[in-house]
Structure 1
Amino acid sequence: MVLHFLNAIIITFVSWTIGLLLNNAIKTAKFYSKISNLNFIKNDGLSKILGLNSFGWIIKNSFFKVFNQNIKLKQRASREDLKQLRNEMVYAEIGHIIGFTFIIIIILIKLWSAQYMSALIMLVFNVIFNLYPALLQQHNKKRIDTILKQ
């Protein structure tokens, strides 16, 4: 059981690295601007049910806040600051989506080879460390877009 957890932790870190590398490779592609406007959850009520605000609070008030220092406002932000912040959020979001997809492929392989417990643990880690951060980035990006439209 401990090996399943260690495996999930290692694969999660690998997924982040793959997300960064692939994200860097595609960020100048024409389709990148299209995927920068992804929004999986259009309803704020669903965001609340999923606990995205609580998840955001956990990120801001735990050691996870040190992972991406570019996604932070120090003072009252100008329009340019908000645009830059949004770009950083898009970059982080797409990296997490790439990582999420990578781990889903590994989970499918594990399910195919009947490694059900390992697949389940990896799925939980993938949701917590890739899906939720991507959804949180989308939620915050939507808030910034609302401010920028005003």
Structure 2
Amino acid sequence: MTLTLYFLKAITFTFVSWTIGLIVNNAIKNTTFYSKLSDFQFIRSATIYNSLGLSVFAWIIKNSFFKIFNQNIKLKKRASREDLKQIRNEMVYAEIGHIIGFIFILIIIGLQIGHKAYSFALILFVFNVIFNLYPSLLQQKNKKRIDNILKQ
């Protein structure tokens, strides 16, 4: 298979993972497990966030066409506590959807490795990190900032 075809397949799998994330997210959002997930933090240190390049990733999101994807996560100049809580809920929803998509793609990667499609598995892994893991980590970072504001 050619490299171009690998990239096209990786893009397709990424969009499918987002759809799977939405479907599963909607199915579990009213469970007690979901509320536990909403407070979960993979990374607690701002230093680690910065060393992963999340500030650069955030800048890319804000200054590219990606900013149109989730219009529900926009902060007004003077947001009330209720606005912040609503935005936090939207962030949790997006974060968990990306985590579900990330896990889905990890399963696909495992299957590809099982079929000895190492090149495609590697490309898919890179796409998965960029389009599922990093958005989830960015949501967590921003969610933590909102939590700090709400505690004041």
TM-score range, shorter chain: over 0.9
| Distance in 2 of aligned mates of 1:48 and 1:12 | 25
TM-score of the superposed pair, with normalisation by structure 2? 0.97
Aligned-pair CA distance for 1:54: 1.2
Amino acid at match of 1:18: I
Aligned to 1:108: 110
Structure 1 residue ranges (4+ consecutive) displaced by more than 2 angstroms after TM superposition:
none
Amino acid at match of 1:120: L
Comparing 124-133 with 51-60, greater Cα deviation is found at 51-60
| Distance in 2 of aligned mates of 1:143 and 1:30 | 24
Aligned to 1:6: 8
| Distance in 2 of aligned mates of 1:40 and 1:109 | 25
Give the alignment's Cα RMSD to 1 decimal: 0.6
Listed as ranges, the gaps of 5+ residues in structure 1 are none
| Distance in 2 of aligned mates of 1:38 and 1:64 | 25
| Distance in 1 of aligned mates of 2:132 and 2:150 | 27
* Percentage of identical aligned residues: 69
Amino acid at match of 1:127: V
TM-score of the superposed pair, with normalisation by structure 1? 0.99
Amino acid at match of 2:14: T
Matches within 5 A, 1:16-31: 16-31=18-33
Report the number of matched residues: 150
Matches within 5 A, 1:1-150: 1-150=3-152
